[in-house]
Amino acid sequence: MDTAAGQSLYPLHRSKTIHLVRHAQGFHNVEGDKNYEAYLSYDLLDASLTSLGWKQADNLREHVKRSGLSKRIELVIVSPLLRTMETAVGVFGGEASSDGINSTPLMNENVGDSGRLAISSLNSPPFIAVELCREHLGVHPCDKRRSINEYRNMFPAIDFSLIESDEDILWKPDIREKNEEVAARGLKFFEWLWTRKEKEIAVVTHSGFLFHTLSAFGNDCHPTVKNEICTHFANCELRSVVIIDKGKIGSDESSTNFPGKIPDGLDLPSDVADEKLSGNVIEK
């Protein structure tokens, strides 16, 4: 329920905490900053992280651990592109290892010619790849994904089961997805989040996807709040938001509510008794 003072009150079980992350610096970011035409180059197809990008991921990982966030996240959702999956496992995955620990690695050694050790899935939340949170589709080769079979060899512990096609059938070389189409896809993604039972979720995705999706939110907020929601993300920036199920999209019951009256007993409140005496309560 919204109040005139701009505050809102909703049942806790109709909310989720979402930690939104833009991927760390990729080679396409560097080349595109020098010359926008570079975004049209197939040399940047499914661009990986730069060495600086990996340092950004390492720094965010330290923040996530220091803040206690790493212990609360129940699920990591990631766009199925190399730069986002590298960022996701670098930030939220287990420890880097070369000693053959008996757990399926989230990332094998030297993926994307990164020179990085394999990253363990031990003590990490589950990871799932979702196409709905991909970057603008079409024209820019850096936003075209590889085959899922290739990715499975690179990221063995990421769950790709929700992706229907091995090859990228969504990306078109001559058609760039419109901004409003990205926003509509983003809203569909947020609706899909309500099908998940997890209450605290990290989403590792892209600048354009985040900007156009989040711009659809906050229109009933103070301009400062709207600005907090909608400004472009920096590389490897994390913002935490709470989403509310106003339309009863989700079906989860509260895990903390308690019905009371156990054992049963009389419990007529005094204010209701006063209303009954004044004749303002209609008996049913």
Q: Which bin fits 82, alpha (ψ -120 to 50), beta or left (φ > 0)?
A: alpha
Angle between helices 207-214 and 223-230 (to 10 degrees): 150
Catalytic residue numbers read 23, 135
For 208, the token pair is: 């354009």
Strand order through the sheet with 118-120: 96-97, 118-120, 105-107
Q: What whole-number distance in Å separates Cα of residue 158 and Cα of residue 26?
A: 20
Q: Say whether the peptide bond before residue 156 is cis (omega within 30 degrees of 0).
A: no
pLDDT tens profile 203-255: 999 999 999 999 988 787 888 888 888 899 999 999 999 998 776 666 567 77
pLDDT of residue 4: 52
Distances (CA, A) of 24 to 7, 43, 47, 103, 174: 34, 19, 11, 26, 27
pLDDT tens profile 152-204: 999 999 999 999 999 999 999 999 999 999 999 999 999 999 999 999 999 99
pLDDT of residue 246: 72
Looking at the chain, the whole-number percentage of residues with pLDDT higher than 90 is 71
Over residues 123-139, the mean pLDDT reads: 97
pLDDT tens profile 249-273: 665 677 777 778 778 888 778 776 6
The DSSP 8-state label assigned to residue 70 in this structure reads G
Mode of pairing for the β-strands spanning 96-97 and 105-107: unpaired
Whole-model pTM: value is 0.88
Per-chain mean pLDDT for the chain: 90
Q: What whole-number distance in Å separates Cα of residue 9 and Cα of residue 14?
A: 11
Instruction: Place 276 in a pLDDT band, splitting at 50, 70 and 90.
Output: low
pLDDT tens profile 13-22: 788 999 999 9
pLDDT of residue 283: 44
pLDDT of residue 102: 72
Domains of the chain: 12-272 (3.40.50.1240)
